[in-house]
Structure 1
Amino acid sequence: MSLVPQILSEVFPQFQATNEVSASANARIDWKETPEAHVFKADLPGLKKEEVKVEVEEGRVLQISGERAAEKEDKNDIWHRMERGRGKFLRRFYLPENTKTDEVKATMENGVLTVTVPKKEVKKPEAKTIEITG
């Protein structure tokens, strides 16, 4: 388990990366970094793309939110167990400086939301040779 979300939460308390989710509708999200992008994958079974919102706030905060509605109940139904999450969910991730937040793309297929945040090319500082005199 990565310490990055915990460290970010300590350094930037306003941008909690964990524990901002309703316990009843926890959206589990993977975050990986490739050479080209930061890729987020969220398991959102049963949700339609219209029920999910992906935003970039305050420049570099990726926010994924939505709501899983409760099933309609019939007076004659007898529930034996309710384990599937329902309710609102909200997750925020503080993106690194090397991201192109104006080029974020999101797709949803078979209940899996994939958010791709392209990375900027980081230029290596050029070394300047200093002539030694004396």
Structure 2
Amino acid sequence: MSNITRWNPINEFEDLMNRYNRVFGLSRNGGEGKDVFSRSDWAPAVDIKETPEAFTIEAELPGMDKNDVKVTVHDGVLSIEGERKHEEESTDKKLHRIERYYGSFLRRFTLPDNVDENSVKAAFKDGLLTLTVQKAEPKEPKAIEVDVH
């Protein structure tokens, strides 16, 4: 399986800091402090699969609507971004425990050279976003004749 996501040690450090901030009540939504980084509070889990014809990226987005998610491809990078809105407390409903992540997210994936960026297809069903990117025919090296004078 070809690896699409590039490992970035800074992202892992940011994730660690975000978890630390949440444990000690320093999240942006709590107002008690500022996150060290301005990264999303959460990111959907993804599975990346490869067949001989295409790559498939499946992102878990439970409780979200397809209108809350935006998928773009630009300069070889596929981006999934959106926002899960927090449920507000009302007079007839009191929130006792919040374990799910809310807020905006952004996931980016560097596409390999052997895909057709214009072939991205998206489907959204039962909280699962499925993106399919068709593989392109490998480009043959172009022979150039050299005139010798």
Question: Could you say which TM-score interval applies, normalised by the shorter chain?
Answer: 0.7 to 0.9
Deviation at residue 89 of structure 1 after TM alignment: 0.6
1:22 aligns with 2:22: no
Percent identity over paired residues: 44
Does structure 1 residue 84 correspond to structure 2 residue 100?
Answer: yes
Distance in 1, matches of 2:39 and 2:52, equals: 29
Query: CA RMSD of the aligned region, Å?
Result: 2.8
Task: State TM-score, norm by structure 1.
Answer: 0.73
Give me the TM-score of the superposition, normalised by structure 2: 0.67
C-alpha deviation, 1:64, in angstroms: 0.2
Counterpart-to-counterpart distance in 1, 2:139 and 2:112: 15
Point out 4+ residue stretches in structure 1 off by more than 3 angstroms.
2-7, 18-21, 75-78
- Alpha carbons 1:104, 1:118 under 8 Å: kept: yes
Amino acid aligned to 1:91: R
In structure 1, stretches of 5+ residues that fail to align are 126-134
How many correspondences in the alignment? 116
Contact 1:21 1:27 in 2 (8 A): no
CA deviation vs aligned residue, 1:78-99 (integer Å, no higher than 9, x gap)? 4321001110010000000001
Q: What is the SS of the residue equivalent to 2:67?
A: helix
Distance 1:107 1:72 in 2: 29
Structure 2 gaps, min length 5 = 16-37, 142-149
Q: Specify which structure has the bigger relative contact order, considering alpha-carbon pairs within 8 angstroms and separated by 6 or more residues.
A: 1
